[in-house]
């Protein structure tokens, strides 16, 4: 008999395995909510220090609002920082080498703050004089951030492009 019980089990098992392999990308994308609802803004930019060799240490605080019904996390935020239209630099806040349970949790219907401390050469004298003249205040400077955050949920991840000003 061509279709013995053993062959039917083997064909059924192979069919299930092939089906899972083919449908796995679809299954993984189902677990990721609509990322257009997730909002990334800049909550604050603080000047931590200016060293003697004119290196400014800035603390950039991102606020991530997750209005979805799922808890999310982020593994990396790449961003470009501009001050008064002048490029300060490209920076990365990365959690890639940290296990999922140690990464920032973007719980559902909440805001989460993620801070990134960066060091940059203070090349533009006008920006440095603005900082010094305003008693180290950065609020009189127009800050612009263009970035890309990797947002993850369960087994899937997707990039979230954002633009923010402060």
SS3 59: strand
Q: Lowest-confidence range among 34-38, 90-94, 120-124? A: 120-124
Q: Could you tell me the pLDDT band of residue 156, with boundaries at 50, 70 and 90? A: confident
Please state the pTM of the whole predicted model. 0.79
- Give residue limits of the domains in the chain: 1-30, 34-165
pLDDT digits (tens, 9 = 90+) for 20-46: 888 877 776 676 788 899 999 999 988
SS3 114: strand
- Class (C level, CATH) for 34-165: mainly beta
User: What is the spatial distance between Cα 80 and Cα 90, in angstroms, rounded to a whole number?
Assistant: 4
pLDDT digits (tens, 9 = 90+) for 62-73: 999 999 998 999
């Amino acid at each position: 008999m061509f279709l013995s019980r053993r062959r039917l089990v083997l064909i059924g098992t192979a069919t299930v395995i092939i089906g899972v392999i083919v449908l796995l990308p679809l299954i993984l994308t189902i677990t990721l909510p609509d990322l257009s609802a997730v909002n990334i803004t800049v909550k604050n930019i603080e000047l931590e220090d200016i060293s003697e060799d004119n290196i400014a240490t800035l603390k950039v605080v991102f606020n991530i609002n997750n209005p979805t019904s799922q808890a999310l996390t982020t593994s990396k935020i790449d961003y470009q920082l501009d001050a008064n239209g002048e490029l300060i630099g490209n920076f990365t806040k990365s959690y890639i080498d940290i296990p999922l349970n140690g990464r920032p949790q973007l719980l559902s219907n909440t805001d989460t703050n993620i801070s990134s401390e960066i060091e940059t050469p203070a090349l533009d004298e006008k920006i440095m004089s603005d900082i010094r003249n305003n008693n180290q205040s950065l609020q009189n400077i127009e800050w612009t951030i263009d970035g890309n955050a990797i947002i993850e949920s369960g087994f899937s991840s997707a990039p979230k492009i954002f633009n923010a000003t402060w």
